[in-house]
Structure 1
Amino acid sequence: MSEIVTADIGGTNARFAVATIADGAVLELSEPVTLPVRDHDSLGSAWRAFQERHGRPLPKQAALALACPVQGEVLTMANSPWIITRATLPDELGVEEPLLVNDFEAVAHAVASLDASCLPHLSGPDRPLPSEGTIVAIGPGTGLGTASIIRRDGRVLVCGAEGGHIGFAPFDAFEDRLLDKLRAVHGRVSAERVISGPGIIPICASLAEERGDSLHGLDDRQIWTLALEGHDRLAVEGMTRFCRALGAFAGDMALAHCASGVVIAGGLGKRLMNVLPSSDFAERFVAKGRFETMLRRIPVRMIRYPEPGLFGAASALARRLDEAAQAT
């Protein structure tokens, strides 16, 4: 057994833990430490704050899940001002060269490693994720993450992606109007502009405008709280619209990858766990014209695990270290 540091660096929060690993698997995670990104000017600053809270020297092996593409030497976070330079990370963090994975690649590693009990049913056939084929992981949060797990002949390959930045595809007249309004502000409109935590604002603003109402200066967190508590009719309708858009996007991703399984994750995925099964998610997921029959055969599940990004990043490094040990 050995210990490694695992981190999940998002646009809103940076999460850290120490993982105990053995034989390519994660045995245990320490209690996670969550630090708001806005309170730190860099990853190094947040890392030092975690080290201070940990209270003893940190392990020298580390895995970092980052909410940005991880190709290249200089990495720019998608929804925060942090810039990460790969070459300086070992000195900055006091570790050996860390493993860097996309944040949703980390979630996909978690999906590939977690027990089926952590993946409750959402829609489609109520059966386990397939042992062969492609599984797509999708997660709305501060942004919109995607990744895929490819299972072939007993082997598992996890691939990060940036599917949240494809163009938003409207499904009905309301979404046509929403797209027009967003295009006037942003030019090109990605799916993430609508299907993410902040996406509830333009959805509700558009609904309010069409009714001669207003949002009264509410931010996205306040709107989500009102929606989930069911205390505000506009917020609840905005959430309903959001679930429909998420279902349509998830179906598009499944179709694009010829997926044999889909998992909904992300911070909002977790908060919507009790909402999505009774929403119009499933109806929009399968509404793919000639391919509806194929989409109906795909099991869609959610992830019920406190910190899948931390677990997944640790799993990726545990597997890599085990493979390296077996090769020597």
Structure 2
Amino acid sequence: MSYTQNQLVSVDIGGTHARFVIATIDDDGSITLDEPITLHTEDHASFQTAWQDYREQKGGTLPDAVSMAIAGPVGGDVIRFTNNPWIIRPALVREKLGVERYTIVNDFEAVAHAVARADESEFIHLTGPDKPLAPTGRLSVLGPGTGLGVAHLYREPDGTYRVSATEGGHIDFAPLDQIDDAILARLRKRHNRVSVERVVAGPAISDIYQTLAAMEGKPVADEDDIAIWTRGQDGSDSLAAAAVDRFCMSLGSVAGDIALAQGGFGGVVIAGGLGYRIRETLLKSGFAERFKAKGRFQELMASIPVKLIIHPQPGLFGAAAAFASEHGKN
């Protein structure tokens, strides 16, 4: 198959999955994606072998450009992923992948690019005033997955925008009540320093569930976090449902803290597949109350629109948008 100069491989690499797609950037700057292919990171020794697998699935040829959204800090001679053992050496990308042009961004930097370009119809309202995200100024973007991604977006009056990656998922966890205290105490047995990622990321549901069970004196077996998420969402386990609600409360607290720290008063966007899967629970949970519970700044927090992006592949879309911003076709 032959590809045009307008096409590239867009890749979203997290702790568990690596998603690949062919992206086309039209002359007007609009971006379209073909059908994504998802590979498990644990099934591949390196990103290069995953790339080769994807190339074979696409008939043996790929575009000569790639944009990678990576779950972890980018920059430097060696890029290490936060939650999987792969490494990438940017100086070798052209040689190892057989491409001419490339872009490498943090995964939530890519999501912020997606937020900047997504249509208003690709957001649903969570809390705060039911109005669009601010057309100018700063927005905060975060989302739970295998870890907790955080970025911020600044929209200029002329319609351009700037995105910055952060490692905000690694700020300290701040308990607000006795249950939070108990969660922290459990986590402190394994971690000297407990970051918010230990409480507000997909795997954290296991520690929340175990904490609630201990508080009620109920013996429960250690089990996969996916099973707890499933029971908590389908209503078959009231303790798991309570754990999911507690997770949503903590996510609200962290989202509010991030907005205060970044000055994201033009809007806050929750992203990621997990956020989308629990969207109905978020609306009914204590998320909104915890988001606003910032003491003297409660009135300010109540003025911030909080949205959930529902684009099916914000990481892939955003990686392509980041490539367009770097190489042209804004």
- Normalised by the length of structure 2, the TM-score is 0.95
Structure 2 counterpart of 1:33, one-letter code: I
1:226-265 → structure 2 map (5 Å cutoff): 226-259=231-264, 260-265=266-271
CA RMSD of aligned residues (A): 1.3
Structure 2 counterpart of 1:58, one-letter code: L
Structure 1 counterpart of 2:219, one-letter code: S
Query: Take 1:87 and 1:220, find their aligned partners in 2: how far apart are those partners?
Result: 37
Aligned residue number for residue 15 of structure 1: 19
Aligned residue number for residue 4 of structure 1: 8
Aligned residue number for residue 143 of structure 1: 147
**Is 2:78 the partner of 1:71?**
no
Residue 127 of structure 2 is aligned with which of 123, 127, 130? 123
Query: Take 1:47 and 1:166, find their aligned partners in 2: how far apart are those partners?
Result: 33
Query: Take 1:218 and 1:323, find their aligned partners in 2: how far apart are those partners?
Result: 48
Q: C-alpha deviations, 1:42-65, integer Å up to 9, x for none? A: 000110111111114111111000
Q: CA deviation at 1:267?
A: 2.1
Q: CA deviation at 1:176?
A: 1.3
Query: Take 1:133 and 1:23, find their aligned partners in 2: how far apart are those partners?
Result: 27
**Is 2:201 the partner of 1:196?**
yes
Q: CA deviation at 1:151?
A: 1.1
Query: Take 1:213 and 1:123, find their aligned partners in 2: how far apart are those partners?
Result: 34
**Is 2:59 the partner of 1:55?**
yes
Aligned residue number for residue 174 of structure 1: 179
Runs (5+) with no aligned partner, structure 1: none
Residues 245, 281 of structure 2: 8 Å contact kept: no
Q: CA deviation at 1:27?
A: 3.0
Q: C-alpha deviations, 1:174-232, integer Å up to 9, x for none? A: 11121122112111011000100011011111111111213323211111011111111
SS of alignment partner, residue 79 of structure 1 = coil
Aligned residue number for residue 229 of structure 2: 224
**Is 2:310 the partner of 1:304?**
yes
Query: Take 1:196 and 1:24, find their aligned partners in 2: how far apart are those partners?
Result: 37
Q: CA deviation at 1:323?
A: 5.9
Runs (5+) with no aligned partner, structure 2: none
Residues 55, 61 of structure 2: 8 Å contact kept: yes
Query: Take 2:253 and 2:54, find their aligned partners in 1: how far apart are those partners?
Result: 39
SS of alignment partner, residue 200 of structure 2 = coil
Q: CA deviation at 1:97?
A: 4.3
**Is 2:119 the partner of 1:94?**
no
**Is 2:209 the partner of 1:211?**
no
Of 35-44 and 56-65, deviating more is 56-65
The count of aligned residue pairs is 324
- Normalised by the length of structure 1, the TM-score is 0.96
Residues 89, 97 of structure 1: 8 Å contact kept: no
Query: Take 2:189 and 2:46, find their aligned partners in 1: how far apart are those partners?
Result: 33
Structure 2 counterpart of 1:201, one-letter code: S
